[in-house]
Amino acid sequence: MSAATRAAIGLGGNVGDVEAAFRFALERLSTDPHTTHATLSPLYATAPWGGIDQPRFLNAVAVIETTQPAQELMQQLLEIERAAGRDRANETRWGPRRLDLDLLLHGESVIDSDGLQLPHPRLAERAFALVPLLDVWPDAVIPGDGPARQALERLTQEDVAAVIAGRVG
- Catalytic member of 102, 135, 149, 167: 102
Residue 100 appears among annotated catalytic residues:
yes
Catalytic annotation on 53?
A: no
Rounded to the nearest 5 degrees, what angle is found at the Cα of 49, between the Cα atoms of 89 and 115?
40
Given 97, 98, 126, 159, which residue is catalytic? 97
Q: Are 14 and 96 within 8 A, CB to CB?
A: yes
CB 73 within 8 A of CB 115: no
Residue 97 annotated as catalytic? yes
> d(Cα 45, Cα 53) in Å, to the nearest integer?
15
Out of 6, 17, 87, 100, the active site residue is 100
Q: Is the dihedral of CA 121, 159, 42, 147 positive or negative?
A: positive
Give catalytic status of residue 167 as yes or no.
no
Q: What is the set of active-site residues?
A: 86, 97, 100, 102
